[in-house]
Each structure stands twice: as structure tokens, then as C-alpha cells.
Amino acid sequence: MYKMVGIYTCKFELKFIPSLQTPGLNIITEYVFGLIYPGRPIANVCFKTYGYISMAQAVSFLSDFKLGHYMKIPPRSMFLVQVHYNSIRYKSLLYYYYYIKKNIKET
């Protein structure tokens, strides 16, 4: 799946990033997985979701690099800031998840 997302991102998304109009990967992943494993709808939806999420994150990452390139920010600094941002983001998401799970009772 990640190979397909990587190929798709390299071929199509890099061409469409300047216009910010990108075609979706969800139909392509659904079709390819349906050909590989016919008759498995839940697996098809899971594959489609993971394919779309990884493609969306790759496009967001490349868009941030495009903005950094226009602002003359070195790529290494942009990458380190994105890594730092994502680590803070995921830690805060886990904190909120455990807080909600601990403090909100199910009815």
C-alpha cells in the first residue's frame, strides 16, 4: 500500500501542489484492492482509509515544504520543526484521550 501511495504522490501530487487542486487516491486504492481481494468489503474500506490518510499526510508535508521553500527556510529546519510539532501533537492527543477515557463515564 505504501508503495502505491509513494508512486502516486511522486507522479501526481507533485504536479498538482502548485495549484492546490489534487485528485483523490481513495477511488484508485479501492479499485486496486478490489481487484486483488474481491469480496472483502471491510478489508477494502480499511485499505482505502489507510491509503487516503497516508496520501493526505504526504501532501500536507509537501505543501509545508513548498511554503518553506518560498520563505527561504532551509529544508533541514523545516523537517525538524515538523517532527517536533508532530511529537507534541500526538502526545497531546494521547493525553486528551486518556483524560476523556478516565473522566467521562459511559451511560
For the chain, the domains span: 1-72, 74-107
Per-residue DSSP letters for 23-84? --SHHHHHHHHHHHSTT-HHHHHHHHHHHHHHHHHHHHHHHHHHHHHHTT--HHHHHHHHHH
pTM: 0.57
Query: Which amino acid makes up residue 91?
Result: K
Using left for φ > 0, alpha for ψ between -120 and 50, and beta otherwise, residue 106 falls in beta
Interval 16-39: pLDDT, tens = 666 666 666 677 777 778 888 888
The arithmetic mean of pLDDT across residues 54-77, rounded, is 82
Task: Give the span between the Cα atoms of 107 and 89, in whole angstroms.
Answer: 29
